[in-house]
């Protein structure tokens, strides 16, 4: 498949490592911070993972504030997710890249050594991360798989405005090197940078303090590195993000507190909603996120903060 927006026979980009070493750009383009302007992208991960996830996303979009979703293109309910995307043209659907704790597109025969016999990546993030970092063969296979996931998304959705990663693995050094080059090749204009203002989160919710601090240190370093690479190709990102440290523990007090403290610029808030449709029962946390995203008080708080709901497609046109 010819990359979306690219011409056939276009040359491959220079390696990112070489271009960053030569000092090309220091920081990825962010949204314009007009005086007093606040905009919010509300994203759901795991679109297509299950019928329950799809139901939660659909409800949160139609009845609430959800403006974007990221699709697992090898997820069990990816076909239904694509139908929902066609029925909801205002839902901006990006790619949720999976290289750990999920299914591959290419399968066991093509990815022997990084997936099991059923074509699933490992469930241990540390083990996966170490394998990808130290194994050149693993990185060659990952490039093929990441390309396949991008092309599967284009077949299912027809366009690709933004990419993020399951467990935020997309900023792992081995993955980011591959992914950013492929984003340039396929003209993908935006990517999530999972660096959250941790002290804002800790002021609002001090649960899991040690985990949050460790996450903050790791993702601060990985995000800084990835942001520099995005800058090489002018790939956009948001100014701010919340959802990393409070994943699975969202509360109304926390969300309303974040909204009251929204900084100027564009902020991404990301969630993992799901809804009970009579099959597998989603977690209480996932159901609660649907309730939060459809809560009138949350919408009123955004209006009170003079924050405009937007999505990545609109961001890249600005």
Nearest C-alpha neighbor of 193 from the set 27, 308, 57: 27
Evaluate whether residue 189 is within a structural domain: yes
In a domain, 201, yes or no: yes
The string of pLDDT tens digits covering residues 245-294 is 999 999 999 999 999 999 999 999 999 999 999 888 999 999 999 999 99
pLDDT score, position 295? 98
Q: Is there a contact between 75 and 45 (Cβ–Cβ < 8 Å)? A: no
Q: Find the domain containing 106 and state its range.
A: 27-317
Q: Does 97 reside within a domain? A: yes
Judge whether 135 lies within some domain.
Answer: yes
Residue 9 lies in a domain: no
Q: Which CATH number does the domain housing residue 186 bear? A: 3.20.20.370
pLDDT tens profile 179-222: 999 999 999 999 999 999 999 999 999 999 999 999 999 999 99
**Residue 290 confidence (pLDDT):** 98
HSE-up (13 A, CA, CB side) for residue 179: 30
**Token reading at 127:** 């083990």
Domain total in the chain: 1
Residue 4 in domain: no
Asked if residue 48 is part of any domain, the answer here is yes
């Amino acid at each position: 498949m010819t990359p979306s927006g690219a011409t056939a026979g276009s040359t491959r980009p220079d390696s990112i490592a070489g271009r960053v070493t030569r000092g090309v750009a220091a920081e990825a383009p962010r949204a314009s911070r007009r005086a007093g302007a606040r905009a919010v992208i509300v994203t759901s991960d795991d679109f297509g993972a299950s019928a329950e996830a799809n139901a939660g996303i659909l409800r949160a979009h139609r009845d609430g504030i959800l403006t974007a979703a990221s699709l697992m293109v090898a997820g069990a309910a990816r076909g239904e997710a694509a139908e929902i995307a066609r029925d909801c043209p205002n839902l901006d659907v990006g790619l949720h890249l999976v290289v750990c704790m999920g299914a591959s597109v290419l399968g066991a025969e093509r990815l022997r050594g990084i997936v099991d016999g059923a074509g699933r990546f490992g469930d241990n993030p540390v083990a996966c991360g170490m394998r990808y970092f130290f194994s050149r063969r693993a990185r060659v296979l990952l490039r093929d798989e990441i390309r396949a996931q991008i092309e599967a998304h284009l077949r299912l959705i027809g366009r690709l405005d933004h990419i993020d990663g399951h467990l935020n693995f997309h900023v792992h050094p081995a993955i980011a090197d591959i992914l950013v080059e492929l984003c340039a090749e396929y003209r993908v204009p935006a990517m999530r940078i999972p660096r959250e203002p941790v002290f804002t989160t800790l002021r609002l919710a001090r649960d899991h303090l040690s985990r949050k601090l460790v996450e903050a240190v790791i993702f601060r370093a990985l995000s800084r590195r990835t942001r520099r690479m995005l800058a090489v190709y002018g790939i956009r990102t948001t100014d701010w993000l919340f959802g990393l440290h409070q994943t699975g523990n969202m509360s109304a007090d926390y969300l309303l507190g974040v909204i009251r403290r929204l900084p100027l610029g564009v902020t991404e808030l990301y969630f993992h909603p799901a809804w009970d449709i009579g099959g597998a029962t989603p977690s209480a946390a996932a159901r609660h996120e649907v309730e939060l995203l459809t809560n009138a008080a949350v919408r009123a708080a955004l209006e009170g903060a003079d924050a405009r709901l937007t999505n990545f497609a609109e961001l890249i046109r600005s």
